[in-house]
Structure 1
Amino acid sequence: MTHFLLGANIIFPIFFVLFVGYAAKEKGFLDDAFVKKATWLVFYIALPLKLFDNMRTAEIRTLNVPYVIYILSGISIIFFGTWFFARFFIKDRKKLSSFIHCAFRSNFVYVGFPILDALYDTPPAEHIMIIIAFGLTLYNILAIFILTYYGEDPDAKVRPAAIAIKVLKNPMIIGIVTGLLFNFLHIPVYVGLTDGMNLLARLSTPLSLILIGAGLDFSSLKDDLGLILAAASIRTVLTPLLLVPLGLFMGLGKTELGVAYVFWSTPCAINCFIFAREMGSDYRLASKIITASFLFAMITYPIGIGWLQLLGIL
């Protein structure tokens, strides 16, 4: 119980800020225009600057290849496993693509970062770099693939060049690559500039949580309830239950497992809704799964963090 309470104490401030955003949206203090502009600020300015500074100052000596393999393998297991079983039960192509997308894709950047900040005094930059550079890239590739495969146009084809360009233009990838260049080449940066960037970077955690809260929708959760509960369970329960023991089996260290747990356990990514709406999938189902996964995470995170603390991993 003590470890569970410690986990709850870590998670509570994060979800408190999130529901402040939800309450502000419900009361009309935050409108869609604000959410859209503030999301741009976080996605294109605050988070890339945070990643740039983390990579610029990190002590990265070698690429942890086993950890790269572990992250990519874990994502692939959940993606292809969910796809294999879901196609037997879901006949609607739009619902199927939305279900698979939401079940395998986590919200690591917006939710995982604040949790890592709470768990570690100095979040391990090299592990975060691997997840962002490799894990989130694979997320985008698989998301575009599955949404195109089950899209409205049966003749649509996945275009590798278009995917590569989309990945390279991602602000977070740009922030990581630029930070690594400054790190490896020992390029000095004026201290006043770094202080200013750090001020902007600090916006990323509270503002991203407020924006996520503003995007939650608890209406009509009873529609497609079975699919919603199944996808949310895969995202927040089944994934860490399968993949954290896999990491133990592979002999990963405590820090590697701790960061991986946060990655595997985060709720469904808000991007699932955006991708679904833009690519002809069932965006209404995606919105419901996202909301349900956040409700699940309020329970699963304290339990998981408490259990890992009991095992001495966190």
Structure 2
Amino acid sequence: MNQIFNIIAPILILIGLGFVCVRYEWLKREHIQGMGVFVLKVALPLLIVNALMQKDFAEIWQTQYLIAYGIGSLVAAFTALWLYHIRLQEALPQAAIMAMGASMSNTGFIGYGVLSMLIGPQAAVYFSMNLLIENLLIIPLVLTLAEWGKQQNSTASMSKIALQTFKSVIKNPLVIGLVIGLLLSGFKISVGAPIERVLNLISMCASPIALLVIGGSLAGTSIQAAGKHALFISAIKLVLMPATVWLVFQFLPNVSAEMEMAGVLLASISMATVFSLFGQQYGIGPRSAAVLLLTTLMMFVSLSVVLILYPS
């Protein structure tokens, strides 16, 4: 339990630092927004490239894991989408971002740290597969829905809306980073030591800056900004998603104990920091940041349950 706290504590400290910086006007909100743009369009895409190019393509493609974690992610995403868009009548762009929060784990900053304590370097393999699922499936899906929702009130034809949505998705730096990373991995292309060093340096700053942005966007708000339905999305992320991943594993052949544990553990992590950054982009910044903070605090419980069920 102390090890888990030692990993989560820096996250809460960085969020708190971002909050203090804006609260006492050491940084202005415009600065925080600029930092968020840097993370979304530069740091995170290069982190994806850096993670994928260092692995053999065959190593990051384990079918059973991709099926189980992919289905778990989709079930969580569509459950949240149904809840917020159909039941609660929220606009499609905002509901799509909430679906992202319900289906994407903070694998890079929290999940990888916890998993590497349990299985060592092998954690990088599951991290890479999560990147594939999140960036090849979940992010394109929710961004397509969000962009589609933004275009619905226009006078453009259905085909034009679809084309605009597709163009917006394929131009997203995160998707571009995924494609480049897969190409470098698949064709075993070396980018050279200087570029590798640059990628490593930028990758290291992605998560800390993202957490500062989240904290800064919380300044002037309270946990109540998460909304009265915040516990629903926390439950979808921390309970429904890992339970679904576990259930799917039971129907798949040749699933190792390590693979099952890795999938369930990573699914029980709070949502990725990119959720709050996209929330800022689609007009729900304070709310998404508050939901992220609430779910991160509740994650202590879900992680504890998983570690009890899968003792190392």
What is the TM-score of this pair, normalised by structure 1? 0.76
Percentage identity across aligned positions?
Answer: 16
Matches of 1:57 and 1:224, distance apart in 2: 38
Q: Is the 8 A contact 1:5 1:306 kept in 2?
A: no
Cα distance change, pair 213–66 in 1 and its aligned pair in 2 (3 A): same
Match of 2:204 in 1: 202
Higher RCO structure, 1 or 2 (CA under 8 Å, sep 6+):
1
Match of 2:279 in 1: 273
Matches of 2:184 and 2:219, distance apart in 1: 41
Matches of 1:199 and 1:242, distance apart in 2: 36
Cα distance change, pair 130–167 in 1 and its aligned pair in 2 (3 A): farther
Matches of 1:102 and 1:188, distance apart in 2: 38
Matches of 1:118 and 1:223, distance apart in 2: 29
Match of 1:68 in 2: 66
> How is 1:130-209 mapped onto 2 (pairs within 5 angstroms)?
130-136=129-135, 137-145=137-145, 148=148, 153=153, 157=158, 159-209=161-211
What is the TM-score of this pair, normalised by structure 2? 0.77
Match of 1:280 in 2: none
> How is 1:100-111 mapped onto 2 (pairs within 5 angstroms)?
101-106=97-102, 108=104, 111=106
2:232 partner letter = A
> How is 1:1-314 mapped onto 2 (pairs within 5 angstroms)?
4-61=1-58, 63-84=61-82, 89-90=87-88, 92-94=89-91, 98-99=94-95, 101-106=97-102, 108=104, 111-119=106-114, 120=116, 122=121, 124-136=123-135, 137-145=137-145, 148=148, 153=153, 157=158, 159-216=161-218, 219=221, 222=224, 225-235=227-237, 237-250=238-251, 252-253=255-256, 254-255=258-259, 257-258=261-262, 261-263=265-267, 265-267=269-271, 269-274=275-280, 276-277=282-283, 283=284, 287-300=286-299, 302-312=300-310
Q: Is the 8 A contact 2:18 2:216 kept in 1?
A: yes
Cα distance change, pair 69–248 in 1 and its aligned pair in 2 (3 A): closer
Equivalent pairs counted in the alignment come to 299
Cα distance change, pair 303–55 in 1 and its aligned pair in 2 (3 A): same
2:141 partner letter = I
Matches of 2:211 and 2:197, distance apart in 1: 23
Matches of 1:303 and 1:287, distance apart in 2: 24
1:102 partner letter = M
Matches of 2:202 and 2:280, distance apart in 1: 25
Instruction: Quote the offset at 1:26 in angstroms.
Output: 1.0
Q: What is the CA deviation profile of residues 144-200 of structure 1, one whole-angstrom value per residue up to 9, with x for unaligned ones?
A: 436745987298758443333333223233233323333333333332332233222
Secondary structure of the residue aligned to 2:56 is coil
Structure 2: runs of 5 or more not aligned: none
